Amino acid sequence: MARSHDKLAELAARLESEFRVKTLVIAKDLSRPTAVDEIYEEVSAASMTVEMLVNNAGFPVFGLFAQTQLETELEMLHVNVIALTALTKLFLRGMVERQAGRILNLASTAAFEPGPLMAVYYASKAYVLSFSEALANELRGTGVTVTALCPGPTRTGFQKRGVMEDSRLVRGQIADAKSVALAGYRAMMSGKTIVIPGFSNKLIPWVVRVSPRGVVTRVVRRMQERVTT
């Protein structure tokens, strides 16, 4: 599921050809309030059993909160938080009934710290991490697992969408999407609650825990700022 029908259809055709699997292409904009119900209805109408749910959709808003657009931030919250929660709720029930299922939610290392210049985005990822950890605890013994994937900066369309290509955070050598996706898949299949790809990223929760919050916030602000030439 994503917004681009043509790209999804191309991927679906390749998967069907290479792996001989059945696919169902659903192109929806998750910022729309009705999108989640429409997705669930289409999947149900196709009599498809969802054994794994990957909540990967999300986008950032970059800039000072006093200057960014409220409408865009509300759309982001709808995608990053509300749609993720609703999709999990709707598909989780069937998993619990079948006593089998796996859910992978895309959080971020941003979930562990406040994020000046991306205040709402960082807060949305803190929600995803907290929500995933709580669900993982609730679901123990049910046969259903929930995994939160917490990558650091990753080379995707994320930077362009957030108009933040010149931020220090994403300059230079950052992770590739393939390695992050593989780490998430392996963690989901093994039933881990949290996975943080990359050695330096794994240190972030510990550094944040032992450092004064004011220092953490100033450091993150410095990392986020645009590089001026």
Please report whether residue 133 resides in a domain: yes
Please report whether residue 132 resides in a domain: yes
Please report whether residue 24 resides in a domain: no
Residues with Cβ < 8 Å from 70, sequence gap 6 or more? none
Please report whether residue 2 resides in a domain: no
Per-residue pLDDT at 2? 53
- Cβ pair 118, 65 in contact under 8 A: no
Please report whether residue 192 resides in a domain: yes
- Helix (H), strand (E) at residue 101: strand 101-106
Q: What sign for the dihedral angle of Cα 72, 74, 77, 78? A: negative
| Number of domains making up the chain | 1
Per-residue pLDDT at 155? 82
Per-residue pLDDT at 5? 84
Q: How far apart are CA 193 and CA 136, in angstroms?
A: 6
Q: How far apart are CA 79 and CA 85, in angstroms?
A: 9
The residue whose two tokens read 């080379």 is 155
The residue whose two tokens read 């910022």 is 31
Please report whether residue 33 resides in a domain: no
Per-residue pLDDT at 159? 67
Q: Is 208 exposed, middle or buried (0-12, 13-18, 19+ CB in 10 A)?
A: middle
**Its pTM surpasses 0.85:** yes
Per-residue pLDDT at 4? 74
DSSP string, 102-127: EEEEE--GGGGS--TTSHHHHHHHHH
Which is catalytic among the residues 121, 122, 127, 185?
121
Residue 121 annotated to the active site: yes
Chain segment 24-65, per-residue pLDDT in tens: 999 999 999 999 999 999 999 999 999 999 999 999 999 999
- CATH number of the domain within which 160 lies: 3.40.50.720
- Cβ pair 175, 198 in contact under 8 A: yes
Instruction: For the chain, report the end-to-end CA distance as a whole number of angstroms.
Output: 40
Q: In which residue ranges of the chain is pLDDT below 70? A: 1-3, 158-164, 172, 229
- 223: its two tokens: 């990392």
Other beta carbons less than 10 A from residue 64's beta carbon? 9
Please report whether residue 13 resides in a domain: no
Please report whether residue 113 resides in a domain: yes
Please write down the long-range contacts of 30-36, taking CB distance under 8 Å and 24 or more positions apart.
30/57, 30/78, 30/79, 30/83, 31/75, 31/76, 31/78, 31/79, 31/83, 32/78, 33/78, 35/83, 36/83, 36/86, 36/87, 36/90
Q: How far apart are CA 219 and CA 117, in angstroms?
A: 12
Per-residue pLDDT at 172? 67
Provide the domain limits for residue 165: 50-224
